[in-house]
Amino acid sequence: MAGGHVRPWLRRWSAAVGAVVVAAALALSGAGPAAAAVSAVPVGGGGGGDGGGDGGGSNPCADVSGSFTAPPPSTMFLDVPYQVSWTADRPTGCSTNISTMLIGPGSPGTLHVASGGGTETVMLPATTQGPATYRIAAFYPGGSVTVASVTVALAQGPLTTIKDPLTGNCLTMENNTTVVFTPPFLHPCDGSTSQEFRFWPLHDTSNQYLIATYNGLCLAANPEAGNLIQQIPCTNTYSFALWAPFKWTDSSPVDQLSNGNLPSWCMSANYDTSPGYTYLQECNPLNLRDDWDFVYRT
């Protein structure tokens, strides 16, 4: 295409201890505070931490330490599974075993009982908003503590409103629907979450997902419905769900969206019915219905 492509822009517990472990795990399951830069921070015990502990070092098990042996990468992609490993060391004077859990987006939340560490495969949920924090929670009789944490960047574009410059309408998932195969429609822009999307670049390819941020579903062309654009679960094995934003010329104020399966075909607006909708048709630099304005939200 003329002008090239310019793309815009993760030992067995006793019955008496089990309830404590579950309660502490639930307390730790919330997302940690977001950080702007990648960091890996081992966190000391001292009887406090995220789970409360016994305080003041009265329980020697509260001084458990740990670290990532294979942390998440500094930048995580949505379409890549990552193996994360860690260790936890029982402190001197602690006569019981320590269990651990990896907590963060896409972690299965498995309790590794009396293991001294563990390994989990992490796949980012499509609803994840970066950056992402992962931490290792260690559980002992009477409390729990975070022994290591890391914050990583996500390979995702900014929150984006996709605007039809010809009419001023915006791509909208009506009523924040989560129903698969529902098409987006073109409605007046209102700044709602139903008009929030993100581009997620894929690993080792120039294609990207286009995701409705509130439900994590991808926009894709459906050749069995006249190439109508609909929302479906994201999968990089379905090329109709892949997109490549580009401009016909570097100086163009608008963008086009070509499809990963049919690179010479673009997302186009259609107002034959009301409200308008989108479908896939052959890219045409003279067709203003192929033009889109990506409005990035701060």
In the prediction, which pLDDT does 155 show? 95
| Vertex 278: Cα angle to 277 and 279 (nearest 5) | 135
Q: What type of residue is 102?
A: L
Is the model's pTM score more than 0.85?
Answer: no
**Can you tell me the mean pLDDT for 245-261?**
92
Q: Is the pLDDT of residue 42 over 70?
A: no
Q: Is the dihedral of CA 274, 275, 279, 283 positive or negative?
A: positive
Q: What type of residue is 140?
A: Y
**Can you tell me the mean pLDDT for 12-26?**
34
Helix, strand, coil in percent for the chain, rounding step 5: 10, 40, 50
Categorize the per-residue pLDDT at 53 as very low, low, confident or very high, splitting at 50, 70 and 90: very low
CATH numbers and ranges of domains, the chain:
15-154 (2.60.40), 160-296 (2.80.10.50)
Rg, Å, the chain Cα set: 24
In the prediction, which pLDDT does 142 show? 85
Q: Is the pLDDT of residue 176 over 70?
A: yes
Task: For the chain, give the mean pLDDT.
Answer: 83
Backbone angles phi, psi at 151, to 5 degrees: -115, 130
Categorize the per-residue pLDDT at 50 as very low, low, confident or very high, splitting at 50, 70 and 90: very low
Q: What is the pLDDT of residues 193-215, one digit of tens each?
A: 999 999 999 998 889 999 999 99
Percent share of the chain, pLDDT over 70: 81
Q: What type of residue is 288?
A: L
Q: What is the pLDDT of residues 148-162, one digit of tens each?
A: 999 999 999 999 999
Q: Is the pLDDT of residue 237 over 80?
A: yes
Categorize the per-residue pLDDT at 298 as very low, low, confident or very high, splitting at 50, 70 and 90: low
Q: What's the first-to-final CA gap in the chain, in angstroms?
A: 31
- Rounded Cα–Cα distance for residues 176 and 154 (Å): 24
